[in-house]
Amino acid sequence: MQTELDYFVQGVPLAEYMDQMTMLKDNSYRVFNGFDLPTDEEFMQLLQEKNPKILVITEDWCGDAMINNAILRKIAEAANLDVRTVLRDQNLDLIDAYLTNGGRAIPIYIFLSDAGEVIGQWGPRAPELQAYVMKMRELLPEKDAPDFDEAQKEMYMAIGEENASNEQFWNWVYANQKEALLAAIR
């Protein structure tokens, strides 16, 4: 199996990946253009000093990736970090090493040292957003109900719109990504 550094080297830069998106590109750019990165010179200076590489396992149909990648890109551009993306469905060996509760949930961010060693990870979702999604799921009818599929589809559409427009969601993602990055580089 390839190392995480091998995947990173072969990966597509995050900005290029976002430009090539076909499914949630508009909403991803809604977040990217709408999110004002908090002023945190100490955090940015530490990121620049430690200069972690970040490998993103993603897919452009994923609503979590749509919001999270846009926020990460803001951080990375401010700190001049190299962030590369690989597609989950084309790299099953890699995602299978980073399962979430036994599933291939994305995005997953793998933080690497200059030497290419894994020093941390984050994803697929900020805890506050996970709580929100779980609350929304509780409102769904039983899985065997005739209207379950339609209700679930509507729920995902509503969550997608919230992810693309709710600034509090963006702030939760930023805070959680910042916490994970600090834990990895300190």
Q: Is 162 a member of any domain?
A: no
Q: Is 150 a member of any domain?
A: no
Percent of the chain with pLDDT over 90: 99
State the pLDDT at residue 127.
Answer: 97
SS3 142: coil
* Tens digits of residue pLDDT in 85-128: 999 999 999 999 999 999 999 999 999 999 999 999 999 999 99
**Distance between CA atoms of 48 and 42, rounded to whole angstroms?**
10
CATH number at residue 173: 3.40.30.10
181 close to 52: Cβ distance less than 8 angstroms: yes
Tokens representing 95 are 């995602």
Q: Is 110 a member of any domain?
A: yes
- The tally of domains found in the chain comes to 1
Least Cα distance to 105 among 68, 64, 72, 158 occurs for: 64
Count Cβ atoms below 10 Å from residue 133 Cβ, excluding itself. 18
Computed over every residue of the chain, the mean pLDDT equals 97
Q: Is 34 a member of any domain?
A: yes
Q: Is 57 a member of any domain?
A: yes
* Tens digits of residue pLDDT in 40-69: 999 999 999 999 999 999 999 999 999 999
Average pLDDT score over residue span 62-85: 97
SS3 80: coil
Q: Is 134 a member of any domain?
A: no
Contacts of 43 (CB under 8 A, 6+ apart): 178, 182
Q: Which pLDDT band, with edges at 50, 70 and 90, does 180 fall under? A: very high
Alpha helices by DSSP H, listed for 37-112, are 41-50, 63-79, 92-95
Q: Is 42 a member of any domain?
A: yes
Quote the domain boundaries for residue 91.
Answer: 4-125+167-185
Please give the helix or strand (H or E) that residue 27 lies within, else none: helix 25-34
Count Cβ atoms below 10 Å from residue 16 Cβ, excluding itself. 11
Q: Is 151 a member of any domain?
A: no
